[in-house]
């Protein structure tokens, strides 16, 4: 099935570091979403973006909707241990007849040993 291109696949963080990840698609979406998934849980919505060029923050998280509507990035500032987990981007066409999300493969955040 279709998946978005998400990078990096994994990264190690040290507490206090800033983190950046991005997502690209061959298709246009009118909505970009970022989710976090902890082990044994379903994805939890972090940020929703509805307009090309939009920059939205949620606490230490900031995400942007690319101008071409084919990409998005997520930044986490001053990371803390509870930021560890898997982050997924998802493209979505809000208001359409179907409501299916197209997900990336995820970026796994781990703590540096």
Cβ proximity of 74 and 20 under 8 Å: yes
CA distance 11 to 108: 6
CA 58 to each of CA 37, 55, 83: distance values in angstroms, whole numbers, following the listed order? 17, 10, 13
Residue 17 · residue 84 · CB < 8 Å: no
Of residues 32 through 61, those in contact with another protein by CB under 8 A are 33, 40-45, 48
**Among residues 72, 79, 104, 109, the one that binds another protein under rule CB under 8 A:** 104
Q: Considering the rule CB under 8 A, would residue 94 count as an interface residue with another protein?
A: yes
Q: Restricting to residues 9-28, which ones interact with another protein according to CB under 8 A?
A: none
N-term to C-term CA, the chain: 35
Indicate the residue among 41 and 81 with the shorter CB distance to another protein: 41
In this chain, which stretch among 12-20, 60-68, 74-82, 92-100 interacts with another protein, using CB under 8 A? Answer: 92-100
Question: In degrees rounded to 5, what are phi and psi of residue 59?
Answer: 65, -125
Segment interacting with another protein (CB under 8 A) among 14-22, 57-65, 67-75, 94-102? 94-102
Contact positions vs another protein (CB under 8 A): 1, 3-4, 6, 31, 33, 40-45, 48, 88, 90, 92-106
């Amino acid at each position: 099935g279709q998946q978005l291109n998400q990078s990096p696949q994994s990264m190690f963080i040290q507490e206090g570091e800033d983190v950046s990840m991005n997502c690209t698609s061959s298709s246009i979406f009118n909505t970009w979403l970022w989710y976090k998934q902890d082990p044994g849980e379903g994805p939890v919505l972090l940020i929703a973006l509805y307009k090309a060029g939009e920059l939205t923050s949620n606490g230490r998280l900031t995400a942007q909707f690319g101008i071409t509507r084919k990409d998005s990035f997520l930044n986490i500032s001053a990371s803390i241990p509870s930021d560890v987990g898997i982050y997924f981007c998802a493209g979505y066409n809000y208001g359409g007849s179907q409501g299916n999300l197209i997900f990336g493969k995820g970026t796994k955040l781990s703590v540096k040993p």
